[in-house]
Chain A
C-alpha cells in the first residue's frame, strides 16, 4: 500500500534556469582537454586550463576553502562549474564573511566548498559535478563585530542545486530575515528569495574578478546571454 506523503510531497527546488546558459556556444580551452569537450558537443563546457604539476596542490587548497580571495583562478580540474548567488545580510548582526556549499551527492570527505565573497555576492569557479545545498554562512569575528555562524540543516536549505554538466549556475538572490522567538529559544531566521539583484546584476559584479583568467571571456559571454 502506498501512502501519500502527508506533507504534500517534497519540494524540489532545483530549477531548470540553473542549467548552463544555452546561448553559450564556445569557450577557450586547452588542447589537453579538447577531446573531452568534443565528446559532449551538445553542451558547452567552461574554460579549462592546461593541467600542471600544481594541479593537485591547487585542487586540494581550493576544495579546502581557498575561496577567501575575491579573484578567480584558471580552472585546475576537469568538469568544474561556476556557481554564484547573492545573500543580503543587512538585517543580520553580521555581514557576509563566508559561505559554504555542501556536496551531498556523491558523498566524499572533502564535501564542503568555501565560496568566494564580495559584499554579499558569493561565487566559486571550482564546483565539481554533484548535488549541493547551502550548509552554512556567517561573518564577524573582528574587533568590531562578534563572530556569528549560521548552520543550515539539510532539509532547510533554501536552494538545492544539481550540477550535472559543467557550466554556470545561479542559485538566486536571498535576504536574511530574523524570526521572532522566545527568550529561551534558539535564534531563528528565514532566507527569503528576492527578485533583485538579478542573475545579470550579480554576475556583472563578479566580472572584474575574472580579469586575466580564462573565465573572463566565458563569463562575459554568459552575462551577454542574460541581457
Chain B
C-alpha cells in the first residue's frame, strides 16, 4: 500500500495557489441549515440523528491553530448526495455541498430535501494549519426519506476507530426513543416525527 501525502512546497506559485484554495474550500460551502423550530419549507423535511466516535476525540487531538473560518472543533461533516457514490481520496469542495455539520456525540436537527439521502462519507478536521489534514470516515449509507415525511430521526451512527484513526466498525443504533424525547423537548408541537433508521446503501 502506498501512502499518499500532500506536499507543502514552494515549488510553483500556481501550486501554492492550489493549496490555498484547498484550505479555504469547506469554508465557502453551503451546509444544511440547522432546524430551530417552526414550519418546514415545502419539499423539505427535518432530519435528526447523532454521530458518535469511539473513542471520542481526545483533548488536543484536533490541532486547530491558525485562523478559523469554520467551526470544526469536535464536529463531523456528513457528506450527502442524492445518489450513492464513492469519494476517492480527499473530498473536493463540491463534496461538502449540503453536508451536515454535526457536533460529535450530540443530536443534530437540520432541514433536508424530502427524498432519499445518501451519506457518501464523513470528515473530521484534525489539523487546520499550516496544512489542512482530515480524518475520513466511510459513507455508503442511506436515509430513505419520503416526500410525505415532515420530520425523521435516523438513529445514531457510531464509528469505532483505533489510535491510527482506522475505522474498526460502523454501527447504527436505534435510539429512537431518545431522539423523540429530544425532538419533543426542543420542538414541542412541531411536525410529526417518524423514526427511519439509516441503512447501508444498496
Contacts and interface: CB of A to CB of B under 8 A. Distances in A.
A11 interface: yes
B31 to A, nearest CB: 23
Size category of the A interface is: 35 or more
Contacts of B169: 2, 5
Nearest to A159: B3
Interface in B141-196: 141, 162-174
B136 A155 contact: yes
Contacts of B3: 134, 152, 156-159, 190-191
Contacts of A152: 3, 5
B197 interface: yes
Contacts of A93: 9, 11
Interface in A103-147: 104-105, 107, 109, 131, 133-134, 146-147
Contacts of B2: 158, 177, 190-193
A227 interface: no
Nearest to B5: A152
Size category of the B interface is: 35 or more
B171 A1 contact: yes
A156 B5 contact: yes
Name the residue among B135, B162, B171 with the largest chain A CB count within 10 angstroms.
Answer: B162
A148 B162 contact: no
B27 interface: no
A189 B171 contact: no
A10 B136 CA distance: 12
The 8 closest A-B pairs by CB, nearest first: A6-B140, A10-B166, A158-B3, A105-B163, A153-B133, A187-B7, A190-B2, A184-B18
Interface of B: 1-11, 14-15, 17-19, 21-22, 58, 60-61, 86, 126-127, 130-131, 133-136, 138-141, 162-174, 197, 200-201
Given A93-B11, A191-B5, 7 more contacts: A146-B9, A150-B7, A151-B131, A152-B5, A188-B7, A191-B3, A193-B1
